[in-house]
Amino acid sequence: MSQLLSIQDLGISFSTDNGLVPGVERVNLDVRRGEIVALVGESGSGKSITSLSILQLLPQPPTRYVSGSILFTGRDGRTIDLLKQTPRQLQDIRGTEIAMIFQEPMTSLNPVFTCGDQVAEAIRAHRRGGVVGEAVSAEEAKKEAIALFEKVQLPDPENIYNRWPHQLSGGQKQRVMIAMAMSSRPSLLICDEPTTALDVTVQKTILRLIRQLQETGRYGGDLYYA
């Protein structure tokens, strides 16, 4: 299997009134295509910090990357250091090449837009009809969003499309987030404790769903699970 992601000697610190405080030190991690990698550790050990650093989602300041590199090999076969990309370059990578499912779906979904509209907007923003520069119509995006809701096993997908986030259960909202992450068919899917806010039964269902999507190719990417 070819290399997809390689985190090498990553060091992250945070600026405070008392100087730099280490967040993570000398993190090394490799993910190959077709592979699921789990990052396990106690609360506060730096799992989320490491996950968020891949897409440069940590605010700068106070975040400072004091050492290391995060190497990612895209669909074009080029390997780049994500820590050296400009904001515009990172914008093209986020969602399109690398997607992320966050811990708390309620805070990740926008409460003033329906669930379907949010997924459709992600499709239009990142997919571009599968061809760079080619726009996706609103109707095409809606059809694909509903199809994604079916893939993540949401009941009555057309009805869910028109519902607001507060009208869904925790497990349903997390499925919407998975559908949104899948919408651009990313090469790498990062899951930052995606079951933390869910009850035990729903946790098992969501983890099984993510595994099934990865194994069957219905998602088509690789997983980095923190």
Domain spans of the chain, in order of start:
3-89, 101-219
CA distance 207 to 210: 5
Same fold, 3-89 and 101-219: yes
Per-residue pLDDT of the chain (226 residues; tens, 9 = 90+): 689 999 999 999 999 998 899 999 999 999 998 888 988 888 888 899 999 999 999 998 899 999 999 999 988 889 999 999 999 999 889 888 898 888 776 778 899 999 999 999 988 887 654 444 467 888 999 999 999 998 888 999 999 999 999 999 888 998 898 888 888 778 898 988 877 767 788 778 778 877 777 776 545 455 554 4
Contact 191, 40 (CB under 8 A): no
Q: Are strands 63-73 and 79-81 parallel, antiparallel or unpaired?
A: antiparallel
Architecture in CATH for domain 3-89: 3-Layer(aba) Sandwich (3.40)
pLDDT (0 to 100) of residue 165: 94
pLDDT (0 to 100) of residue 130: 46
- Say how many C-beta atoms besides its own lie within 10 A of residue 45's C-beta: 12
CA distance 24 to 34: 27
Length of the chain: 226
Q: Are strands 222-225 and 36-38 parallel, antiparallel or unpaired?
A: parallel
User: What's the CATH fold of domain 101-219?
Assistant: Rossmann fold (3.40.50)
pLDDT (0 to 100) of residue 29: 93
